[in-house]
Amino acid sequence: MLLSSVATLLVPLVDWLSKTPENHNRTPNKVSHVAREPLHLELRHLHAVDASSAHVVFSDVSPEKLNTLSALDSSTSTKPSYSVRPRRTRTYRPSSYAAHVRARMRSLELGESEKLEWEEDEIEGPDVESRETLLELAKMTNNAYVEPEDPAWYDLNGRWNISLPFGWEPESDGFRGHVFATPDNKTVVISIKGTSAGLFGGGGPTAKKDKLNDNLLFSCCCARVDWTWTTVCGCYRGGWKCDQTCLEDALISDSLFYPIGTNLYNNVTYMFPDANIWMIGHSLGGALASLVGITFGVPVVTFEAPGERLAATRLHLPSPPSTHHVTHVWHTADPIAMGICNGVLSSCALGGYAMETACHLGKTIVYDTVSNASWTVDIRTHGIVNVIEKLLAEPWPFSVEQGREVPEPVPQKDCVECFSWEFGDFD
Ligand SMILES: *[C@@H]1O[C@H](CO)[C@@H](O)[C@H](O)[C@H]1NC(C)=O
Ligand SMILES: *[C@@H]1O[C@H](CO)[C@@H](O)[C@H](O)[C@H]1NC(C)=O
Ligand SMILES: *[C@@H]1O[C@H](CO)[C@@H](O)[C@H](O)[C@H]1NC(C)=O
Ligand SMILES: *[C@@H]1O[C@H](CO)[C@@H](O)[C@H](O)[C@H]1NC(C)=O
């Protein structure tokens, strides 16, 4: 067994793995913990991906529609406005997006590093230590409450009436979500609904490619589980060897996972040019929210996301001085967030996926449901409804005991993943 530091082999430039996140010692001002008035976020748009062009498309939610929703309001999940408590959050944004793209491309294509300037900023982010705030954000990542009947979809370049984008069919499980805003448009939250089975569900021209990309981003070596398994790329070299160059070539530039997130973000900044934007997401949607958040320096909260640190490395994302504006919330009975959904008979393997990554960037709020609440590790605990109803709806006694509303947000310590693999040049 070789404890290889994947990052040094993958990309000398990107030092996600070696960097301790705590590399600035300034303590945040105490002022930041004064309780603030909650923000009220209301639903404005739906977003999805147009299957033919892979563009992000939007549909407006009319005020009438919202009124209908509030009239129907019998359960909390149809509530049209969400209250979240803000608090000061330090973020790092690249001097410009163009500079970020340049640095990333140089690393990706030439293996060279380029110094990128990061601007430190202190903005309003969500108060992740407030249970009620996490609960509201979790509800916002659950899109069960609005099923568009016949929404008129459009992209921002003026193309109207794109017929049903991929992922909105009730039975499909694709990449989609909502855009919320405060009445003054000053705070905007982009939610990305997750999926545990691929970005585009089961069809469309991009489906096959994306299944491949998910497996490259969230598994160690092309989703090889064992000898019975058909891998998604040919980089396996026998034993526990995986060819690094092969992996990178297989992934490279046409991975749609990350560009869909950056397009979504850029499109929303165009719609709300002066807004302070937050990203939230469940499962793979959370992993994507985080990758976008560390690109643009925006606050992020995810629920039950698979580890995205390896994906950040494989995508050659330049690493900001700190990623503490990203907070991952998960519990220990969820095999996807824990990175253990990969046995031959696991539900992930049955769907053609190996979810093996376990290391998350930023801070983590981990509910130990296995030791504290005797939950059994089970894919069915992964769902956002479970998180809303079983994890966040009531105070968590094991935190309350310690005088906290939620488990303490801390960076993941000494996280190791894919440790039995050796990555290198084997050809
Ligand atoms: C929105 O994103 C698309 C890619 O999906 C991009 O081509 C377009 O230029 C963006 N529009 C704006 C106004 O940012
Ligand atoms: C969009 O186009 C479809 C046919 O492609 C049509 O049935 C539908 O009514 C149109 N919707 C709107 C809002 O124009
Ligand atoms: C907020 O943005 C919407 C468009 O999404 C616009 O119709 C509305 O007038 C804006 N409200 C304020 C207060 O700027
Ligand atoms: C809850 O779990 C933590 C470890 O995550 C442990 O330290 C603590 O003792 C547990 N509390 C109870 C009451 O089981």
Q: What is the pLDDT of residues 345-403, one digit of tens each?
A: 666 666 666 778 999 999 999 999 999 999 999 888 888 889 999 999 999 999 999 99
Question: Are the CB atoms for 333 and 375 separated by under 8 Å?
Answer: yes
Question: Are the CB atoms for 295 and 317 separated by under 8 Å?
Answer: yes
The pLDDT value given to residue 320: 96
CA 81, CA 59: separation in Å to the nearest integer? 18
Of ligand 1's listed atoms, the one at least distance from the Cα of 56 is 5
Strands 39-49 and 56-60: antiparallel
The pLDDT value given to residue 157: 81
What is the 362 CA–ligand 2 centroid distance (Å)? 43
Say yes or no: CB of residue 370 within 6 Å of ligand 4. no
Question: Are the CB atoms for 147 and 112 separated by under 8 Å?
Answer: no
* Burial (Cβ within 10 Å: 0-12, 13-18, ≥19) of residue 409: middle
Of ligand 1's listed atoms, the one at least distance from the Cα of 267 is 14
Element (H, E) at 314: helix 309-314
The pLDDT value given to residue 296: 97
Say yes or no: CB of residue 185 within 6 Å of ligand 3. yes
CA 118, CA 323: separation in Å to the nearest integer? 12
Helix axes 257-271, 207-218, angle to 10 degrees: 100
Phi, psi at 380, each rounded to 5°: -70, -15
Among 205, 214, 246, which Cα is nearest to 355's? 214
Phi, psi at 375, each rounded to 5°: -75, 155
The pLDDT value given to residue 166: 62
Token pair belonging to 416: 């190791």
β partners of residue 47: 58, 177
Number of domains in the chain: 1
Question: Are the CB atoms for 320 and 119 separated by under 8 Å?
Answer: no
What is the 127 CA–ligand 3 centroid distance (Å)? 25
Residue whose CA is at the smallest distance from ligand 1 atom 1:
267
Of ligand 1's listed atoms, the one at least distance from the Cα of 54 is 5
Say yes or no: CB of residue 372 within 6 Å of ligand 4. yes
The pLDDT value given to residue 56: 87
CA 387, CA 261: separation in Å to the nearest integer? 24
Q: What b-and-e string marks burial along 145-170, b requiring 16 or more CB atoms within 10 Å of the CB?
A: bbeeeebebbbeeeeeebeebbbbee
Regions of the chain where pLDDT drops below 70: 1-35, 51-52, 66-80, 143-150, 164-174, 194-214, 223-233, 251-255, 343-353
The pLDDT value given to residue 195: 60
Question: Are the CB atoms for 344 and 226 separated by under 8 Å?
Answer: yes
CA angle at residue 166 from 163 to 168, to 5 degrees? 85
DSSP strand E in 99-211: where? 118-126, 153-154, 160-162, 176-181, 187-193
How far is the first Cα of the chain from the last one, in angstroms, to the nearest whole number? Answer: 20
The pLDDT value given to residue 347: 66
- Per the annotation, the verdict on 74 as an active-site residue is no
Q: Quote the pTM value.
A: 0.85
Among 41, 272, 64, which Cα is nearest to 149's? 64
Say yes or no: CB of residue 398 within 6 Å of ligand 4. yes
What residue numbers bound the domain in which 409 lies?
2-424
Phi, psi at 385, each rounded to 5°: -65, -40
Token pair belonging to 252: 């490279």
Question: Are the CB atoms for 255 and 217 separated by under 8 Å?
Answer: yes
List Cα–Cα distances, 28 to 35, 91, 277, 288, in angstroms: 15, 12, 21, 27
The pLDDT value given to residue 144: 59
Name the 3-class secondary structure at 69.
Answer: helix
Return the ligand number nearest the Cα of 149.
2
Question: Are the CB atoms for 83 and 110 separated by under 8 Å?
Answer: no
Token pair belonging to 109: 């294509």
Among 140, 264, 263, 255, which Cα is nearest to 199's? 255
The pLDDT value given to residue 426: 79
Say yes or no: CB of residue 76 within 6 Å of ligand 3. no
DSSP letter assigned to residue 329:
E
Instruction: Please identify which of the residues 283, 290, 322, 346 carries the catalytic annotation.
Output: 283
